[in-house]
C-alpha cells in the first residue's frame, strides 16, 4: 500500500538566493554551459542528435586520453554500479570497502544476487594493493570482478587505483571496475596503462556539468566478456550501448538532450584547459585546503591517500558544524558539507574543491569559515 501523506499543500517558489557550491557535487557550472541547455528541443533520432552524441563521446575519449570506448547514458553514476555488476559478474565479486559509497557498491551487488566478498577497512583508511592480491589469492582466483572506489567521497580518501589495477592485471580472468564518481575530471588517471576495464563517473562532479548523465569508459575485454552473458543489464549493457553507437552514433533510448548540449560546451572548455592542467589546478587547491586544515583542524583521511577533489576535515576544535554551515550559507551565500551520515556528521566536515573552482574561490570559502567559526 502507498504511504498516505498528510503534508500540507506547499506552494513552490524559486525565490532562493544563489549559493556557490563547495559540496562534493553538484558543483559550480559555468554560465555559458547553463545557457546552452535553453534551446528548442530536437528528436533523438535526428542527424543533429548524431552530431551531438558523437561529438561528446569522441571529445570525452580525447580528454581522458583513452583508446577504450565511452558510453554517456542518462542517469547518474549509480547506474554503473548496477550495470557493471550485471555485465561482468557471474558469481563472485570482491569489493574493498572503506566508506559509505564503496559499501553501497557492495550492497548493490548483493541485491543483484552476486556472491560478494568485502575487504573491509576502517573509514578513513585506504585500500592497499597487497591486500587485494592476498584476497584474490585466498579465493583461489575466483573473482569475476574487483570493484574499487577511486575517491571515497564520504571520507576524503583517494585510493591507489593505479597500483590496484596493476595487481588485478596479474589475473586475466578478473575484471577491474572503478567507481571514479567525484574524482574523474579533477584527478588524472591513466586508464589504459593500469588495466582499468570499467571506470565511471557522473556529470555533476569534477566534470562541472549539470547532473543527469553518467559517463562510463569500457575496455574491449569488458565488452567481449559481456557478450558471453545473457543476464547483462539491458539499459546499461555495454554491448547494446556501444553497438548502437557504432551503427547510429546515438543512444539506444531517449537521452537528456539539454544536459548533452551543456556537456558539449563544457567539454570544449575542458579540452582547452587539458587534462593535465586541470589535474594541476586541482592539486594546487588540494594543497591549499590541506595546509589550511592542518593549521586549524586536521585531515580525516589516511596520510598519503588524500583526495584531490574532496577534503574531509576532522573537527578537532569541536565547532558546531551544522550551525557553521548554516551561517556561512546565510552570510556569504556559500555552501559546504557536513560529515557523511550519522557516523561522521559533526566529527568532520567536507569541502568540495572540484570542477571549475580555483585557489581564489577556495580561499573565499576558507576565509568565510574562519570568520564564522572565529578561527
Ligand atoms: C564515490 C561515489 N560513488 C557513487 C556516487 C553516486 O553517484 P550519483 O549520485 O551520481 O549516482 C557518489 C555520489 O556522491 C559518490 O561520491
Condensed to tens digits (0 to 9), the pLDDT of residues 157-168 reads 999 999 999 999
H runs (alpha helix) in 92-180: 100-111, 129-138, 161-168
Nearest CA owner, ligand 1 atom 16: 153
Quick one: pLDDT at residue 5?
62
Check pocket membership of 153 for ligand 1, CB cut-off 6 A: yes
Give the pLDDT of residue 14.
85
Of ligand 1's listed atoms, the one at least distance from the Cα of 24 is 14
Q: How far apart are CA 322 and CA 324, in angstroms?
A: 6
Q: Ligand 1, closest atom to CA 151?
A: 1
> Final residue of a domain: which of 248, 271, 294?
271
Residue-averaged pLDDT of the chain: 96
**CATH number of the domain within which 245 lies:** 3.40.640.10
Residues 258 and 323 in one domain: no
Residue 13 lies in a domain: no
Same domain, 312 and 261: no
The alpha carbon of 78 and the centre of ligand 1 are apart by a number of angstroms equal to: 6
Residue 265 in any domain: the answer is yes
Provide the sign of the torsion angle of the four alpha carbons 216, 220, 221, 224, taken in this order: positive
Residue 353 in domain = yes
Assign 227 a pLDDT band (cuts: 50, 70, 90).
Answer: confident
CA of 140 to the centre of ligand 1 (A): 31
Chain centroid, CA 145 distance in Å: 19
- Residue spans of beta strands (DSSP E) within 245-357: 298-299, 310-314, 334-335, 337-338, 348-352
Residue where a domain stops, chosen among 236, 253, 271: 271
Helix axes 238-248, 220-227, angle to 10 degrees: 110
For ligand 1, say whether the CB of 366 is within 6 Å of any of its atoms.
no
Q: At 78, is the pLDDT very low, low, confident or very high (cuts 50, 70, 90)?
A: very high
pLDDT at 288 over 80: yes
Phi, psi (rounded to 5 degrees) for 189:
-140, 135
* DSSP-assigned letter for residue 306: B
Looking at the structure, tell me whether residues 290 and 259 fall in a common domain: no
pLDDT band at 10 (very low <50, low <70, confident <90, very high): confident
**Are residues 188 and 324 located together in one domain of the fold?**
no
Ligand 1 proximity of 151 Cβ (cutoff 6 Å)? yes
The total of structural domains in the chain comes to 2
pLDDT at 172 over 90: yes
Ligand 1 binding pocket mutation candidate from 78, 180, 199 (most atoms within 8 A of CB): 78
Do the domain assignments include residue 93?
Answer: yes
Domain for residue 15, yes or no? no
Interval 275-285 mean pLDDT: 98
pLDDT (mean) for 54-66 = 98
Whether residue 50 has its Cβ less than 6 Å from ligand 1: no
- What pLDDT digit, counting tens, does each position of 300-335 carry? 999 999 999 999 999 999 999 999 999 999 999 999
Same domain for 45 and 150?
A: yes
pLDDT, residue 11, reads 83
Instruction: Give the residue-averaged pLDDT of 73-95.
Output: 97
Containing domain of residue 292, as a range?
20-28+275-373
Cβ–ligand 1 distance for 182 under 6 Å, the answer yes
Strand order in the sheet with 92-97: 69-74, 213-218, 198-202, 175-179, 145-149, 92-97, 115-120
pLDDT at 4: 61
d(CA 255, CA 167): 37
Which one of 222, 248, 271 terminates a domain? 271
pLDDT, mean of residues 94-109 = 98
Has residue 4 been placed in a domain?
no
Query: Mind giving me the DSSP string for 203-239?
Result: TTSTT---SSEEEEEE-HHHHHHHHT-SS--STT-HH
Q: Match 579540452 to its residue by C-alpha cell.
A: 271
Residue 255 and residue 286 in one domain: no
**In the prediction, which pLDDT does 6 show?**
66
For residue 292, pLDDT beyond 70: yes
Is 60 found in the same domain as 191? Answer: yes
Question: Is residue 5 included in any domain, yes or no?
Answer: no
**Span 74-92, mean pLDDT?**
97
Q: List pLDDT tens digits, range 322-375.
A: 999 999 999 999 999 999 988 888 899 999 999 999 999 999 999 999 999 999
76 pocket-lining for ligand 1 (C-beta < 6 Å): yes
> Do 127 and 172 share a domain, yes or no?
yes
Mean pLDDT for 190-194 is 98
* Closest atom, ligand 1, to C-alpha of 211: 10
Place of cell 557471474: 90
**What is the pairing mode between strands 310-314 and 298-299?**
antiparallel
**Within a domain: 66:** yes
Distances (CA, A) of 177 to 8, 34, 166, 320, 354: 45, 31, 13, 38, 23
Residues 288 and 256 in one domain: no
The domain that contains 314 carries what CATH number?
3.90.1150.10
Please give the distance, rounded to the nearest whole angstrom, from the Cα atom of residue 107 to the centre of ligand 1.
14
Share of the chain above pLDDT 70, in %: 98
Ligand 1 lined by 179 (C-beta under 6 Å): yes
Are 345 and 235 in a shared domain?
no
**Mean pLDDT throughout 105-120?**
98
Same domain as 237, residue 183: yes
Asked if residue 308 and residue 257 are part of one domain, the reply reads no
Amino acid at each position: 500500500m502507498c504511504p498516505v501523506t498528510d503534508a500540507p499543500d506547499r506552494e513552490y517558489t524559486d525565490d532562493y538566493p544563489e549559493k556557490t557550491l563547495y559540496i562534493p557535487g553538484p558543483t559550480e557550472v559555468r554560465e555559458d554551459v547553463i545557457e546552452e541547455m535553453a534551446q528548442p528541443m530536437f528528436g533523438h533520432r535526428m542527424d543533429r542528435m548524431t552530431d551531438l552524441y558523437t561529438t561528446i563521446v569522441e571529445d570525452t575519449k580525447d580528454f581522458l586520453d583513452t583508446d577504450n570506448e565511452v558510453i554517456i547514458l542518462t542517469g547518474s553514476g549509480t547506474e554503473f554500479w548496477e550495470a557493471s555488476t550485471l555485465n561482468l559478474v557471474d558469481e563472485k565479486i570482491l569489493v574493498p570497502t572503506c566508506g559509505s559509497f564503496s559499501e553501497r557498491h557492495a550492497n548493490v551487488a548483493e541485491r543483484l544476487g552476486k556472491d560478494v566478498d568485502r575487504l573491509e577497512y576502517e573509514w578513513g583508511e585506504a585500500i592497499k594493493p597487497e591486500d587485494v592480491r592476498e584476497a584474490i589469492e585466498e579465493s583461489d582466483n575466483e573473482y569475476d570482478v574487483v570493484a574499487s572506489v577511486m575517491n571515497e567521497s564520504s571520507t576524503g580518501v583517494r585510493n591507489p587505483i593505479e597500483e590496484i589495477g596493476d595487481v588485478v592485471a596479474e589475473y586475466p580472468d578478473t575484471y577491474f571496475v572503478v567507481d571514479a564518481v567525484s574524482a574523474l575530471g579533477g584527478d588524472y588517471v591513466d586508464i589504459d596503462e593500469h588495466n582499468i576495464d570499467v571506470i565511471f563517473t557522473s556529470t555533476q562532479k569534477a566534470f562541472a556539468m549539470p547532473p543527469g548523465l553518467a559517463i562510463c569508459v569500457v575496455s574491449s575485454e569488458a565488452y567481449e566478456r559481456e557478450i558471453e552473458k545473457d543476464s547483462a543489464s539491458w539499459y546499461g549493457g555495454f554491448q547494446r550501448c556501444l553497438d548502437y553507437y557504432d551503427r547510429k552514433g546515438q543512444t539506444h533510448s531517449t537521452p537528456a538532450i539539454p544536459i548533452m548540449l551543456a556537456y558539449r560546451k563544457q567539454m570544449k572548455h575542458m579540452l582547452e584547459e587539458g587534462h593535465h592542467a586541470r589535474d594541476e589546478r586541482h592539486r594546487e587547491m588540494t594543497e591549499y585546503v590541506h595546509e589550511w586544515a592542518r593549521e586549524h583542524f586536521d585531515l580525516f583521511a589516511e596520510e598519503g591517500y588524500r583526495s584531490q577533489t574532496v577534503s574531509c576535515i576532522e573537527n578537532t576544535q569541536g565547532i558546531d558544524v551544522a550551525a557553521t554551515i548554516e551561517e556561512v550559507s546565510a552570510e556569504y551565500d556559500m555552501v559546504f558539507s557536513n560529515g557523511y551520515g550519522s557516523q561522521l556528521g559533526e566529527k568532520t566536515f567536507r569541502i568540495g574543491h572540484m570542477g571549475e573552482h580555483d585557489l581564489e574561490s577556495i580561499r573565499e570559502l576558507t576565509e568565510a569559515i574562519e570568520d564564522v567559526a572565529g578561527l
